[in-house]
Amino acid sequence: MAPGHVAYGMRASFGTSHITPEHVIAWERGTHVPDAGELTALAGALWCQPSELMGHPGTLLEHRIARGVSAEDVARATGLTLDAYLSMEEAGQWTGDKRQSAKLGEVLRLPPRDFIAITRLEEELARLLTEAVSTRWQAHIRDIAKLVSMDRRDLKAPLQAMQQDYQALMTATLSRAGGTTASGEDGRRYVENIVDHFWSRLPGSS
């Protein structure tokens, strides 16, 4: 399809009367980016899903567009007013409570990693993971599973492996080269990136 055909399809079927072939060319070249409505119309004109035209969604708005869910549906599912939800989208900051966050994850079908990022729970996850690897992971698996909305059975192997990695770093003494840097520094670096270590242990999350 030439840019003119795409622009015509968007105008004729999706009410985007302002779209010209120049708009489509600019999007192709990456000099401009379509807004939410234009992206949805573009996907319709190309007979595909908005998510197929996007990179990995990062913001609340991008996740909603990628899933093809209306703002009204998200507001209704989470128990928010439409204005309140749209304000969160505009600010790029989700501020719902735990119940509303759980509903958001359901309606947008967010994978665990995206759910944690969107709902700003990474700090809490890091705290739980740090406690799990530095003490007994079995004592924290329930809270971690609840936070990321996963089955505890799927977390057993990752948490066990992470604890072994961390303990190996902390119990090692000096480097083989005879240096004087204690391995505790390696352990601290591990904890600083513990959320990334966690996702890398989960298939399909990295």
Q: What is the pLDDT of residues 15-68, one digit of tens each?
A: 889 999 999 998 888 788 788 788 888 888 998 887 778 778 888 988 988 888
* DSSP 3-state of 183: coil
Who has greater pLDDT, 205 or 45? 45
b/e per residue, 113-133, with b = 16+ CB within 10 A?
A: bbbbbbbebeeebbebbbebb
Q: At what angle do helices 36-45 and 60-67 cross, to 10 degrees?
A: 20
What is the model's pTM?
0.68
Domain map (residue ranges) of the chain? 1-53, 119-199
Fold of 1-53: 434 Repressor (Amino-terminal Domain) (1.10.260)
